[in-house]
Amino acid sequence: MKILVTGGSGLVGKAMQEISKEYSTFTFYFLSSSECDLEDYNETYQFFSNYKPDYVIHLAACVGGLYKNLANPSTMLEKNLLINSNVLRCSHEFKVKKCVSCLSTCIFPDKVNYPIDETMLHNGPPHKSNYGYAYSKRMLDIQSRAYRDQYNDNFICVIPTNIYGKHDNFHLEDAHVIPALIHKCYLAKKNKTPFVVKGSGRALRQFIYSVDLAKLLMWTVEKYTERENVALSISEKDENTIENVARIIACEFDYEFELIFDTAFSDGQYKKTCSNKKLLENIDEFDFTVIETGISQTVKWFVEHYDECRK
């Protein structure tokens, strides 16, 4: 059986490459943007025609952190709408057995009762800081549902919480919070300057290590039989403040006494707490990587690969 992984050179795609040897019954193809422009329907169709996948794990997206989302709502909306529409349309046309697409907890309503769950995705507008990206991902859920309803296609979406790990984008401005802070702390120590974190540090987030998510995606392909979305999340009790995350990173660099929070900057959405009740009801058991271990491994990888990593 052939599995096509879009976004195959990204954070989660690389994690899937790492675990793929454990799934000997599958042949994996990790598609990168340099091989096929998924914004172009003809290119996407030609690739599907050549490879003919049995399964698709759709990870490809135009993504970024808080400040990239704030600055580029139209770009985030349009690029993701094109990518998602082309991948799902081709998955249908080439009769893919199952297409698992990746959403995010950041696309949930801003004003909502916590913890959020899979049924609450469209219960109000998303936070204004990322509305372009959020609505494009909500439409990925709608389109997957439409293919299920009209054609009985097995197209579902998973909803991971904030992902981090090796092979991430460590850009200082456009990256998500953990990789951006890792890079910032690295430079602060190197230049002997304060490690400045934008915002108060009080915002709460659930983080999932990329290798954990890769394993859960394969569980979704192989063993998750429902036709509705499922959140892939750590438990609510393991939620962390940005301050705690920054302190863990600073400790990894032995630089915790130079940490400063700049409250002139926005914290973004205060919390996005997600329930993993449905996941736990469907999976036998799963040991999530604790954040201290995950950050330690990520920092080590970043330092060792500083010259060639995305930044």
Name residue 241's beta-bridge partners. 204
As a 3-state breakdown, the chain gives helix, strand, coil percent values, each rounded to 5, of 45, 15, 35
What letter represents residue 277's amino acid?
Answer: K
Closest CA to 181 of 311, 2, 307, 15: 311
The span from the CA of 75 to the CA of 130, in Å, is 11
Give catalytic status of residue 164 as yes or no.
Answer: no
For the chain, the structural domain boundaries read 2-164+207-234
Q: What is the pTM of this model?
A: 0.92
Q: Count CB-CB contacts under 10 A for residue 282.
A: 14
pLDDT digits (tens), the chain, 311 positions: 999 999 999 999 999 999 999 999 999 999 998 999 999 999 999 999 999 999 999 999 987 776 677 778 888 899 999 999 999 999 999 999 999 999 988 899 988 888 999 999 999 999 888 889 999 999 999 999 999 999 999 999 999 999 999 999 999 887 789 999 999 999 999 999 999 999 999 999 999 999 999 999 999 999 999 999 999 999 888 899 999 999 999 999 999 888 999 998 888 778 888 999 999 999 988 999 999 999 999 999 999 999 999 88
What was the pLDDT predicted at 19? 97
> Counting Cβ atoms within 10 Å, is residue 257 exposed (0-12), middle (13-18) or buried (19+)?
exposed
CATH for 2-164+207-234, options being 3.20.20.70, 3.30.70.1400, 3.40.50.720, 1.10.10.10: 3.40.50.720
Task: Please tell me the predicted confidence (pLDDT) of residue 52.
Answer: 96
The phi, psi pair for 94, rounded to 5°, reads -100, 15
CA 14/CA 195 separation, integer angstroms: 29
**What was the pLDDT predicted at 24?**
93
Q: Which of 133, 147, 164, 209 is catalytic?
A: 133
